[in-house]
Amino acid sequence: MDGEQERILALRTLLTRLFEEYHVLDAPSVSDAEYDALMRELVALEARHPEMGDEHSPSRRVGARAAGKFQPVQHDPPLLSLQNAMDADDLREFDRRVRKDAGGAEVAYVVEPKIDGLTVVLRYEDGELRQGATRGDGSVGEDVTQNVRVIASVPRRLRGAHPGAFEVRGEIYMPRPAFEALNAARAAAGEAPFANPRNAAAGSLRQMDPGVTAGRALELFCYEVRRGGVPGTQSDALALLAQAGLPVNPIRRHCASIDEVIAETERFAALRDELPYATDGLVVKLEDLQLAQSLGATQKAPRSAIAYKFPAEEAATELLGIEVQVGRTGALTPTAILRPVRLAGTTVQRASLHNEDLIAQRDIRIGDTVRVRKAGEIIPEVIGVIADDEHYLRPAYEFPSVCPICGGEAVRREGEAARRCVNTACPAQLREWLIHIGGRGALDVDGLGPRTVDLLLAHGLVQQPEDLFRLREEDLAQLPRFGEKSAAKLAAGLAAARTRPPARILFALGVPHVGERAAELLVERFGSLPAIGQAGQEELSDVPGVGPVIAQSVYRFFHGAVGERLLGSLAQLGFVLGGEAPRGHLDGPLAGEVVVFTGTLSVPRQEAQQRSRALGARVESDITRRTTLVVAGEAAGSKLARADSLGIRVLSEAEFGALMATERERN
């Protein structure tokens, strides 16, 4: 048995369970879009493997069996489901088939919202409501008459004369405000929330106590006359339902061609979030009901109608593998390699897994069926696993402890979510760093894109970021597919980069956690990159908008070999790294003092630090050879001993207070 045949069996098992959760238990564990995607995958695989045919496959079902707590109701004729159209091409193909079966004539359609609710059939006798039933598996549903009777929008008696049987089909749904209020109440009571409005509507309609149903604010839209009327068109059918006092959706559109249908799908997609109910698409129906009747149906669906589904915001697919990428700061980022799946209008094959904690917390394993969504409609991400019987037989994923590119050690520092390659010569880090340097917001080097960076690295012209700015035009002109114009353009861009503002230079250095705004705040506070490099960690964290995480990252960078080397190199290469520090920082009465506080003080330490900075001192949290003064409060420990060993001047809090007072008087 090959991989696709094994996938067919796995999908059948999985979809059978999901089918029961959705239709019988009213407790779906996946979204409609995810379920539809899995079903489409199964149908496609079964088409490629006819030898795997099985009449019990989920792909051949219409609805679900009744849950057993209500009396069965036989549907005659059966209630069919609809085929799905995922894009305009699918709609055009549907139109082509309809027109072909209709003898080539042009046809018109009616487009209605596809409500995310529960299908019901209402039977009236001589105008009186006699029965309400769910769809069930299409042939047999459940008698929910007593619950239907308590829904305010379901008329007990029809308007006008309706002798004999009058049977209609509609959708019971829960409006968004009612759904949100219900879930809030369930959360307050410690109960599990409903997954979606459809789930809430189904659970509310299938209550053994009609009083519970009555309190759930359910609504009804009707859209089909099954018995007791002979409308010629779908528009006539909707008018007949409305005349009888049955609620019909006012949002519908007559379309003279499939082009108008497609335009309507685009218009409606922009409005769907403003509606008071949930909808995942539109239903496209042939206007001529006599023609629709003559076209007949397949085993599952009528040939005269189709459901257009909006691009999925979530989808389900198989996790084929996990690829770990290395970024410019050395962070190891896992990426999911997926079986291709349609998501929000695009085909997705890769998705973010964020970090190793997410993989462990959600127990994501290669071979699992995973849930994927678009984050901000841009970046696909894996949000969970749809567990199957094979999940725990698959090995748990082990995140690498070495860099997959250079083999260097990958270390995870305390308080950080990412594991990082500590090899500063890692080629993957250098590549991403060079691309970052050339990007907008950083040094904006015209002509320095990924392809150019790859060329420079492949020919050994750059080993460190600062090597970029030592390149000569004649060096660049020798690169393959790099003529004189390209060389001159890049050389000019590299020259212009030397004059960028200091904040953009700082951002270009690629310090972990330092974005464009943090770089601006740091330069505003300290005036220059050398001043930032000399600042203590606590001094950095006191900058509004910076905080301890960024401060620690900046401190580590500028006190490491790479940061120190870069500052020196950039200065030699003519970069403008900033002017003098803001007044009050370096020219106060304590200018030149590098102060460390230790022990318990009589005032909050932050207050003492701020007073010191106001007089021009630099304040650091750790004692280094640059430290000039240690202020020791009560119970001072190891820092005091280190200061003594280095011969650094130590003052008590009182002595330091007197020193500050004296310096104020002098100035």
Mapping DSSP to helix (H, G, I), strand (E, B) and coil, where does residue 507 land? helix
For residue 244 the two structure tokens come to 């009888």
Rounded Cα gap, residues 255 and 367, in angstroms: 45
Rounded Cα gap, residues 495 and 454, in angstroms: 20
Rounded Cα gap, residues 548 and 555, in angstroms: 10
* Count of all residues that appear for the chain in the document: 667
For residue 406 the two structure tokens come to 């250079």
100 is known as an active-site residue:
no
Helices (H), 326-472: 356-361, 427-438, 450-458
For residue 404 the two structure tokens come to 């997959």
Pairing of strands 346-352, 84-85: unpaired
Query: Within 13 Å and on the Cβ side, how many CA atoms surround 244?
Result: 34
Long-range contacts, stretch 349-352, CB < 8 angstroms, 24+ apart: 350/323, 350/380, 351/379, 351/380, 351/381, 351/382, 352/379, 352/380, 352/381, 352/382
How far are the Cα atoms of 142, 155, 162, 167, 216 from residue 129, in angstroms, in the given order? 16, 8, 11, 10, 21
For residue 221 the two structure tokens come to 């839209």
For residue 123 the two structure tokens come to 């039977």
Closest CA relative to residue 228, chosen from 306, 126, 309, 133: 126
Strands (DSSP E) found in 200-265? 219-227, 253-255
**Using an 8 Å Cβ cutoff, are 304 and 286 in contact?**
yes
Burial 341-378 (b: 16+ CB within 10 A, else e): bbbbeeebeebbbbbbebbeebebbebbbbbbbbeeee
How far are the Cα atoms of 73, 264, 527, 578 from residue 572, in angstroms, in the given order? 87, 63, 19, 14
Helices (H), 71-228: 88-101, 145-149, 176-188, 197-205, 210-214
Pairing of strands 332-343, 109-115: unpaired
Cross-strand bridge partners of residue 380: 374
Rounded Cα gap, residues 464 and 564, in angstroms: 13
**Catalytic residue (one of 69, 114, 374, 485):** 114
Question: Where in the sequence numbering do the catalytic residues fall?
Answer: 114
